[in-house]
Amino acid sequence: MLDNFDVNAAELLGAHILVGITRLDRAGRVAEQRQFHGHVVRANRGEGIVIVNAVGEELRLPPDGMAFAPADPGEYRLRSTGEVVVDPDYTATWTITPPAHH
């Protein structure tokens, strides 16, 4: 039986993905923002979603197919580098929060 991850993962193979990751500090303020892009080369529960960027590095994303949304056509400028990504297939965003204090 296929679940949402399996169905979405199959659709992502070979796709050009634009990724945004925001890390928050304990006060909920933005501590870091990172953007990158690449093509999906593997997608499975063990490794997650693996993309290869322009310099050949493999980057792993969580195995959450629901985090990916079809990208609107157009140009996307990466804030950190100024690089322009044209017509990616999907965008994916994550916000990472630190664990709560006990």
Kindly report, residue by residue over 36-71, the tens digit of the pLDDT: 999 999 988 888 899 999 889 999 998 887 788 999
Confidence of residue 81 (pLDDT cuts 50, 70, 90): confident
DSSP string covering 4-30: HHHHHHHHHTT-EEEEEEEEE-TTS-E
What are the domain boundaries of the chain? 4-96
The count of residues in the chain is 102
Burial 3-32 (b: 16+ CB within 10 A, else e): eebeebbeebeebbbbbbeeeeeeeeeeee
Contacts (Cβ under 8 Å, ≥6 apart) of 57 = none
Which residue in this structure is represented by tokens 């999906």? 40
